[in-house]
Amino acid sequence: MTVEPGSVPSLRALDEWFRSPLGGEVARLESASIQRLLANTFGYYLVQVGVSDGFDAALASSRIRHRIRLPVASFPECASPACASGSIVGLPAQLPIASDSVDAVLLPHTLDFSPEPRAVLDEVERVLIPEGRVIVVGFNALSAWGVRRLLWRSKGRLPWCGRFYLAWRVEEWLGERGFDIEVREFLMFCPPFGAMVGRRCAALDTLGRRLWPFFGSIYVIRAVKRVATLTPVKPLRAKPSALLAGRAVRPTTRGTGHA
């Protein structure tokens, strides 16, 4: 699938790519990783921003009670099937969610296809409660997929027309917003060709995790929102002087020249 050159590719268009053989393999690996990272995450509300398909099984297995999908739309109206019950519509950089109200946020390739990735993280920090978690999934620029992107991004084809970031750059952005990195995983060590899907891809993934783990084509990061707490400091109490001790001071005539 292609998008217009120079335009910002739509996250909703990425849903269609996930239905291709290569995209389906990517979705399978990402879903398994998300399911692992959500296994010990608790709370009342989880919001998934961006891509809506491919992660239903992972979210259904989480222990968070309410799961809300936020498909990306340019307008309040949304005719996509993703905008059904259980979904709200908005922009990643302007989330229609109250501050300090969400326990977890999932960003599946949301930063890759957003013109304002740091603004998206600002919004995530705003809506998360203290100790809330964010899971960021993205394409790794330092990988075989990143090399192919350099050759194919001008063609406007998904997912190569997106912005691939280094995992360390994303972690730096999270750190600037008060997040601590808890887990980082790299996935998909196969070349970006649909013919590699299957047993050969599984063998390369096993070998890649052992020999060159940082060159995986996909990174998955889980971070926790830390809030600095102010420890009250008791003021130093100086000893009261004689003039403030609440008793009279006997006058002296020393040095006055009077008897």
Q: 36, exposed or middle or buried, with CB in 10 Å at 0-12, 13-18, 19+?
A: middle
> Phi and psi dihedrals of 132, rounded to 5?
-75, 160
Strand partners, 134: 105, 223
Q: Considering the entire predicted model, what is its pTM?
A: 0.78
**Distance of alpha carbon 3 from alpha carbon 33, whole angstroms:** 29
Residue with tokens 């799961």: 67
For tokens 């979904």, name the residue.
87
Residue 250: per-residue pLDDT: 57
Q: What are phi and psi of 197, to 5 degrees?
A: -70, 135
- C-alpha to C-alpha distance for 49 and 97, rounded to whole angstroms: 12
Strands 218-225 and 179-187: antiparallel
At 2, list the tokens: 């292609």
Could you tell me how many residues make up the chain? Answer: 259
Contact between 133 and 222 (Cβ < 8 Å): yes
Q: Is 150 helix (H, G, I), strand (E, B) or coil?
A: helix
Angstrom distance (rounded) from CA 166 to CA 111: 11
For residue 121, how far is the Cα from the chain centroid? 7
Rounded distance, CA 226 to CA 70, Å?
Answer: 24
Q: Is 258 exposed, middle or buried (0-12, 13-18, 19+ CB in 10 A)?
A: exposed
Contact criterion met (CB below 8 Å) for 169 and 221 = no
pLDDT tens by residue, the chain, 259 residues = 554 443 345 676 788 888 888 888 899 899 999 999 998 888 999 999 987 767 888 888 888 989 888 876 543 334 444 444 455 677 888 899 999 999 999 999 999 999 899 999 999 999 999 999 999 999 999 998 898 888 876 567 888 888 999 999 999 999 999 999 999 999 988 877 655 565 566 666 766 677 777 888 999 999 999 986 555 566 655 555 544 445 545 555 555 555 4
Q: What is the pLDDT of residue 238?
A: 54
Query: What SS3 state is found at 176?
Result: helix
- pLDDT, residue 34, reads 94
Q: For residues 124 and 178, give the distance between their C-alpha atoms in angstroms, rounded to a whole number.
A: 11
Phi and psi, residue 186, nearest 5°: -115, 135
Supply the pLDDT for residue 65: 85
Domains of the chain listed by start with CATH number:
11-229 (3.40.50.150)
Question: What's the sign of the alpha-carbon dihedral 150, 156, 160, 162?
Answer: positive
